[in-house]
């Protein structure tokens, strides 16, 4: 098999915060009835994480489950576990009216880290209230980042992770890099 | 700028996270309807000054469609509600009545 690389191939940039490509991750889209006991059990078994509340994300190690919409979850894992995750989910929810799709290679994952400035970088680009009392770790938000759809969450108070489509990864990286340009700090959340 | 709350996922955001889908509660006329009915369905939209009902989609969020009741003059949003309905729910109508007594829109009042 050919060697898979992420769209940005590990690119990084040091601004007033650090912007970097996080490489490849397994991303499985699961659509179905999120109230279904079978589906909830299957997700827990595959990801090893409880189902998140609405607009939330549950993280444990390199596995995570994010709430995408009232009938959709995004399951993250190590890139080489994608096939295994998908197969396991598909087997466990067979019979349910649900869809499992491996979208690992359709997405890009970026990280903005290195301080509360990470909040500011996102606040410049997304119509999201990034104040610490409005958005923080544990929450997951799908939104618009300049001209593209993106989803964000905070693994900790100092950094933000961004998922977007692979086809616009470079655009997303450049956006974040510009927003993190030294000297452009607005000092909003300090 | 409109601030809308998606009733499907609960996110409140400004309008650029959403996409407008035109007038709400349109009765569809397809095969078997008269030319006049089909013409009306396609082209006869209201363009009110004041209370208006629209369809919106949370395009950059959960992706779901919903309905919004708002004022086209002040951009005040009276409320948003499920897309799975053929008429505005009573609580939305009550809220509009409180703000705009005597309002009417198509067959609703």
A64-103 pLDDT per residue, tens: 999 999 999 999 999 999 999 999 999 999 999 999 999 9
Q: Which pLDDT score is estimated for B41?
A: 94
Q: Tell me where in chain A the CATH 3.30.70.1520 domain(s) lie.
A: 25-105
Range of the domain at B9: 3-25+40-99
- Give the pLDDT band of residue A1 (cuts 50, 70, 90): low
Determine the distance in angstroms separating the CA of B50 from the nearest CA of chain A, rounded to an integer. Answer: 27
Q: Say if the Cβ atoms of A70 and B59 lie within 8 Å.
A: no
pTM recorded for the entire structure: 0.91
Q: Is B33's pLDDT higher than 90? A: yes
Number of domains in chain B: 1
φ, ψ at A85 (rounded to 5°): -60, -45
**In CATH, A25-105 is 3.30.70.1520:** yes
3-state secondary structure at position A165: strand
Q: Is the pLDDT of residue B36 over 90?
A: yes
pLDDT in tens, A112-142: 999 999 999 999 999 999 999 999 999 999 9
Q: Is A152 helix (H, G, I), strand (E, B) or coil?
A: strand
Contact A69 B16 (CB under 8 A): no
Q: Express each pLDDT in B70-103 by its tens digit.
A: 999 999 999 999 999 999 999 999 999 999 999 9
Contact between B13 and A69 using a beta-carbon 8 Å cutoff: no
Does some domain include residue B33?
no
Q: Which residues contact B30 (CB under 8 A, 6 or more apart)?
A: B38
What CATH number has the domain bearing residue B61?
3.30.2270.10
The DSSP 8-state label assigned to residue A7 in this structure reads: T
- Residues of chain A contacting B19 with CB distance shorter than 8 Å: none
Q: Which is nearest to B6 in space by CA: B103, B88, B81?
A: B81
DSSP letter at A160 equals E
Is A54 in contact with B9 (Cβ distance < 8 A)?
Answer: yes
Q: Kindly state the percentage of chain A with pLDDT values over 90.
A: 94
Question: pLDDT class for A189, splitting at 50, 70, 90?
Answer: confident
- Percentage of chain B lying above the pLDDT 90 cut: 97
Of residues A29, A31, A30, A13, the one with CA closest to residue A21: A13
Task: Map B45-65 to HEC letters.
Answer: CCCCCCEEEEEEECCCCCCCE
Calpha distance B56→B89 (Å, rounded): 16
Is the CB of residue A19 less than 8 Å from the CB of residue A184? no
| Within-domain flag for B32 | no
Question: Whole-angstrom Cα distance, residue A65 to residue B71?
Answer: 39
Q: Is the pLDDT of residue A188 over 90?
A: no
Give residue A95's region: left, alpha or beta (phi > 0; psi -120 to 50). left
Mean pLDDT on B54-74: 97
- Is B106 within the bounds of a domain? no
Q: What CATH number belongs to A12-23+106-179?
A: 3.30.1360.120
Mean pLDDT of chain B: 95
Average pLDDT score over residue span A152-169: 96
Residue A123, both tokens: 């606040």
Q: Give chain B positions within 8 Å (CB) of A150.
A: 60
Cα–Cα distance measured from residue A35 to residue B63, given in angstroms and rounded to the nearest whole number: 19
Of B10, B14, B62, the CB nearest to A142: B62
The string of DSSP letters for B60-85 reads: TTT--EEEEEEETTT--EEEEEESS-
Q: Which residues of chain A does CATH 3.30.1360.120 include? A: 12-23+106-179
The CA-atom distances, in angstroms, between A89 and each of A57, A73, A108 are 18, 12, 22
């Amino acid at each position: 098999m050919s060697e898979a690389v992420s769209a940005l191939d590990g690119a990084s940039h040091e601004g007033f915060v650090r912007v970097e490509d996080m490489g490849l991750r397994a991303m499985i889209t699961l659509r179905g009835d999120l109230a279904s006991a079978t589906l909830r059990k299957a997700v827990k078994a595959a990801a090893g994480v409880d189902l998140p509340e609405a607009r939330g994300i549950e993280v444990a190690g390199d596995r995570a489950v994010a709430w995408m919409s009232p009938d959709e979850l995004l399951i993250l894992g190590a890139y080489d576990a994608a096939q295994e995750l998908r197969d396991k989910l598909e087997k466990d929810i067979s019979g349910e009216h649900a869809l499992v799709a491996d979208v690992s290679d359709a997405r890009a994952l970026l990280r903005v880290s290195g301080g509360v400035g990470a909040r500011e970088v996102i606040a410049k680009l997304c119509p999201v209230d990034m104040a610490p009392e409005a958005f923080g770790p544990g929450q997951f938000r799908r939104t618009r980042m300049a001209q593209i759809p993106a989803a964000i969450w905070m693994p900790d108070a100092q950094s933000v992770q961004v998922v977007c489509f692979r086809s616009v990864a470079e655009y997303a990286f450049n956006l974040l890099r510009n927003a993190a340009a030294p000297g452009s700090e607005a000092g909003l959340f300090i | 700028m409109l601030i809308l709350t998606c009733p499907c996922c609960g996110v409140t955001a400004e309008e650029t996270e959403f996409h407008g889908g035109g007038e709400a509660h349109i009765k569809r006329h397809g095969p078997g309807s008269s030319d006049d009915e089909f013409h009306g369905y396609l082209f006869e939209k209201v363009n009110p000054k004041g209370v208006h009902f629209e369809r919106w989609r949370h395009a950059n969020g959960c992706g779901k469609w919903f309905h919004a009741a708002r004022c086209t003059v002040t951009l005040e949003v009276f409320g948003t509600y499920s897309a799975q309905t053929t008429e505005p729910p009573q609580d939305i109508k009550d809220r509009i009545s409180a703000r705009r007594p005597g309002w009417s829109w198509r067959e609703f009042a």
